[in-house]
Structure 1
Amino acid sequence: MATEKTSDNVRAVDRALDILMAFTATDYELTAGQLLKRVDLSRPTLYRLLYTLEQSGFLVSSGEPQKFRLGPAVAHLSHVWTSSLDLNEMAKPMLRRLWEKTGETVALFIPQGAYRSCISELPCTQPLSFKRGVGYRERIVLGASGRAILAYLDITPELLKEYAAGTKLDLKKYAEDLQSTRERGYAISNQEIIQGAVSIAAPFFNSGGQVAGSVGIFGPSARLDASQVKEYGELLIVETKLLSEALGLRGK
């Protein structure tokens, strides 16, 4: 009897979690009828679990017909989880795999307004290499690691012009480069900041789907030809997708 009761409790928890996971960023309000189409539950069981979740603050409801959305208890858990995140630690496995597969310098960047900063770096061990170091700060409009971020920011032409002030960037061509970055999934720069250096970078995203930074691979043009750039770009897409998922992104 005790085993059966425990099993019933576990099933109830699983079903309650299924209900919570039915909500998305675009479908943040759902009726009971809509929830029935997303979870494999009978109507009485669904209503019983909805009542329990609402009583404990995981759901709130309003309107006619009644619509449910995630409640303050979920926000509390989200705050606790976000506070515990250490981006450097979360990114370590992805950076390490890229470093081992490419043998080139690999770095993690986050946006800071008109700039982007390096917060983690695994330097290349070969004699001919390029590395900037943790703490390195550069204008976000320059280089692949900045362009990989900008391509996914909701930025106005006016703000882009402000970011590019004092550079020799052709903003029309730059906008085309951002579009190419979105189509490929990664940005490329060739001798843009350092003579002889090639960089490839891809963005990663937070749980809300906003771009949170980029991961870049840096090496000399003597080693990084077009086929190598394509191969490394595809590796970046795989690893930044994993990093985005680790940060809570679903379905991008």
Structure 2
Amino acid sequence: MEEKKSHESVRAVERALEILLAFRPGDDELSAAELLTRVDLSRPTLYRLLNTLEQQGFLVSSGEPQRFRLGSAVAHLAHVWITGQSVAELAQPMLRKLWEATAETVALFVPDGVYRLCVAEIQSAQPLSFRRGVGYREKLVLGASGRSILSQMRLSAEELGRYISDSKPDVARLLTELETIRTQGFATSRHELIEGAVAVAAPFFNGADQVAGSICIFGPSVRVTDERVVLFAELLRHEAGNLSRALGQQARQVLDKAGSRS
């Protein structure tokens, strides 16, 4: 029974995506009748899914008979994707320098709600290495790359609640850790998301001096010793500063942030 419900849920998602993908360039609005010519669905199923998509902001309807157009949730996803792509392109020189200097996997993450999204990665050429892959998504509260972003958001204990995935979190301890990360300008994690992996990450900022993401280096603990963590942190802060300037952050702001970490 559970397996059947799971299959039905997956099929419902597939059908909903088919409806969204039925919109083509130039389609400002489509009626239900027009959508029925593009998707293989019964009318009742179509209307049920249209109603769900509208409730979630993926579609907006108007008129009589109803006509549907793409909603703000689609625009949000498009913005996240476009922003990620442009940042990934700008960050390539910085990622390449870090990869050449460390010989470890280097990745770029951008925030996506309570999550972070990997938009660029250069994998280590060494036989023993770790990778996440472009498109990898994880909660901001987990891992060095996530907490380095979260540390710059200056959240209250109440606001932090929506980012926490643990059922019984120690909020006070997490707030203290985020303050330490914010002060030193980088975050570390050991054996947290991948057994045997060590990650070091630093945040970067946009022209409005808002955190725009993080750059992360990660590799096996047998190579990423405490001494190398210190080296990686310095390299990351330097290249994160370069990326921040490329995104429009003023030199004075970059110096102020660097000074607050010393």
TM range (shorter): 0.5 to 0.7
Q: Deviations over 1:210-244 (max 9, x none)?
A: 00000000101111111100000000000000000
Q: Does residue 1:170 correspond to 2:170, yes or no?
A: yes
Counterpart of 1:14? Answer: none
Counterpart of 1:40? Answer: none
Q: Deviations over 1:81-108 (max 9, x none)?
A: x99x821111000000000000000000
Provide structure 2 residue ranges, at least 5 long, that are not aligned to the other structure.
Answer: 1-81, 254-262
Q: Does residue 1:238 correspond to 2:231, yes or no?
A: no
- Where has structure 1 moved over 4 Å in runs of 4 or more? none
Counterpart of 2:94? Answer: 94
Counterpart of 2:21? Answer: none
| SS of residue in 1 equivalent to 2:152 | coil
Q: How does 1:37-56 map to 2 (within 5 A)?
A: none
Whole-Å Cα distance in 2 between the matches of residues 169 and 216 of structure 1?
Answer: 24
Q: How does 1:30-179 map to 2 (within 5 A)?
A: 86-167=86-167, 169-179=169-179
Whole-Å Cα distance in 2 between the matches of residues 234 and 168 of structure 1?
Answer: 34
- Equivalent pair of 2:109/2:119 in contact (CA under 8 Å): yes
Counterpart of 2:192? Answer: 192
Instruction: Call closer, same or farther: CA 1:242–1:156 in 2, change over 3 Å.
Output: same
- Between the aligned residues of both structures, percent identity stands at 50
Instruction: Count matched residues.
Output: 170
Counterpart of 1:247? Answer: 247
| SS of residue in 2 equivalent to 1:193 | coil
The residue type paired with residue 230 of structure 1 is V
Counterpart of 1:75? Answer: none
The residue type paired with residue 159 of structure 1 is E
TM-score by length of 2: 0.62
Structure with greater Cα Rg: 1
Counterpart of 2:50? Answer: none
Counterpart of 2:229? Answer: 229
Across the aligned residues of Structure 1 and Structure 2, the Cα RMSD in angstroms comes to 1.6
Provide structure 1 residue ranges, at least 5 long, that are not aligned to the other structure.
Answer: 1-81
Whole-Å Cα distance in 2 between the matches of residues 140 and 248 of structure 1?
Answer: 24
| SS of residue in 1 equivalent to 2:159 | helix
The residue type paired with residue 129 of structure 1 is S
- Equivalent pair of 2:157/2:172 in contact (CA under 8 Å): no
| SS of residue in 1 equivalent to 2:153 | coil
